[in-house]
Copies of this chain bind each other. A is one copy, B any other.
Amino acid sequence: MNREDERHLYLRVADQLRERIRSGELREGDRLPSVPGLAADLGISRSTAAEALKVLISEGLAVARSGAGTFVRLPREPQRLIRAWYRATPYGSPFMQDMDRQGREASWAYESESLTAPAEIRDRLSLGEPAGDEEDAVRTHYVFSADGEPVMLSTSWEPLWLTRGTPIVLPEDGMLAGRGVAERMLSIGMPIDDWVEEVGARPGTTEECERLRHAPGAIVVTIQRTYYSGETPVETANIVVPADRFALVYSGRMGRVSGTNKSSAEDGA
């Protein structure tokens, strides 16, 4: 199965351990052979044994606990978060819909504040230069939970010029609280037409991992989402989900202009 004889000793040892995990001999949470143990069993040096374990750790297949040992940590089958479906409905919050679909109980906590948006957000919301230190956006921090366990962080920004004086200035206030951005914006005559999401991944910050009750430095998937009403950006959010628990699902149709777009829909061959 190996493409070559695998020149390096520590890689061969790593392969061997990986195989014992793959085969099911070593299971989630089991202790891997210790560094001195491996060294003695295989007649190799401790440094080399340690090197082999580091390979598995860097691949995310194991975690080391100082003083205790090195333990198998299998990647979980991730839950699917449906981010786009070509039959998507615009009502209710996407997160709620998803959890409903999977029969999990969704809940969330939030905290809103008006302030002057930072440069990156100004850009995404086309806010232009700040007028002195005037507050021009509402920021809301969300922590979403499924079955009581925190699973998603979101920081949402809405321009104040849009919502000032309307009943929906505060996202989680009034009749439409918890109904999602789309419905709220519709209520003030700004129906959301388009969305753009930019997806990336990075190690989570200490704060993010704490809030998600996650191991420090664990990988998170980040989404920068912006909603548009016509050409006007009406909301943007930075969303963070733990990568080992969630996969994002996008879906669409190819080769045709979708929906009734002003830029005339021709029929693809």
- Residues of A whose CB lies within 8 Å of any CB of B are 11, 14, 55, 57-60, 75, 78, 80, 83-84, 86-91, 182, 186, 191-206, 216-217, 219-221, 227, 243-244, 246-261, 263, 267-269
Contacts and interface: CB of A to CB of B under 8 A. Distances in A.
B200 A248 contact: yes
Contacts of A227: 254
A11 B258 CA distance: 50
Copy total for this chain: 2
Given A199-B248, A253-B261, 12 more contacts: A88-B254, A88-B255, A192-B255, A195-B252, A197-B249, A197-B250, A199-B199, A200-B243, A202-B243, A203-B219, A258-B259, A259-B259
A55 B252 contact: no
B269 A191 contact: yes
B201 A243 contact: yes
A239 to B, nearest CB: 13
B259 A217 contact: no
Given A203-B59, A250-B83, A269-B191, A259 B261 contact: no
Please give me the 8 A-B residue pairs with the lowest Cβ-Cβ distance, nearest first: A258-B258, A58-B217, A90-B255, A201-B201, A201-B243, A200-B247, A60-B203, A253-B259
